[in-house]
Amino acid sequence: MIRQSTLEAIGNTPLIKLRKASELTGCTILGKAEFMNPGQSVKDRAGLFIIEDAV
């Protein structure tokens, strides 16, 4: 997906199936790929909300 700005890339973090852990447990185990946020952190979303609230 192509984003028009860095702000559009914040949030909607993809989930990645952890195949090996899922196989070992018999459950579907997902990891949240926070490294795909622009700042590579969950803090991107919080920072965006703070700025939007201030404006």
Q: State pTM to two decimals.
A: 0.57
pLDDT at position 28 is 97
Give residue 46's domain range: 7-54
Number of domains in the chain: 1
Asked whether residue 35 is domain-assigned, the answer is yes
29 contacts 22 by C-beta, under 8 angstroms: yes
Asked whether residue 40 is domain-assigned, the answer is yes
Asked whether residue 1 is domain-assigned, the answer is no
Mean residue pLDDT across the chain? 85
The dihedral through the CA atoms of 11, 14, 18, 23 has a sign that is positive
5 contacts 43 by C-beta, under 8 angstroms: no
pLDDT in tens, 1-55: 777 887 777 777 889 999 999 999 999 999 988 888 777 777 777 788 888 888 8
pLDDT at position 5 is 81
